Structure 1
Amino acid sequence: MNDAMLKALTKGRVWLGDWTSRRARDRGQTAVEYLGIIVVVVAIVVAITGTDIGQSIKGAIAEKIAELTGGQ
């Protein structure tokens, strides 16, 4: 095996090892991020359904659907 090929293989192995260790550290982070997004969405839904804003939004959506479908 010549010197250039040995250097390239070593460099690739080092890069691959570094990449896999970074992926292992990030694995749990995405679960926490998804949980945070779910909490925010639930909080928004609860806030909207607990006020008259939810009924206003529902009425506006129903009105637009009726306009599109020609319904009443």
Structure 2
Amino acid sequence: MDRVIKAAVAARIAVRDWAVDRVAATRSGRGDRGQTAIEYLGIAVIVAAIILALNGTDIGNKIKNGITGAINDVIGDS
């Protein structure tokens, strides 16, 4: 559970920092120029934190089993 809390806090901080940057960019008039790569990296970090938080938990296993079952339904495996 400690990993989940740490990952959630890290994700929340990343989102807050991104939001502060977006507000500053909008107010300064510099817009979206040059922001794309950094924003994609931020999203990747958040997704990685979520995956790490779910890894090994009961929720993570349920998600994995659901995705595996859906794929098996599509390709016809049992």
Class of the TM-score when normalised by the shorter of the 2 chains: 0.3 to 0.5
Taking CA–CA contacts closer than 8 Å with sequence separation of 6 or more, which of the two structures ends up with the larger relative contact order?
2
- What TM-score does the superposition give when structure 1 sets the normalisation length? 0.48
Structure 2 length as normaliser, TM-score? 0.45
When Rg is computed on C-alpha atoms for both structures, the one with the higher figure is: 1
Please identify which structure carries the higher helix content.
Answer: 1
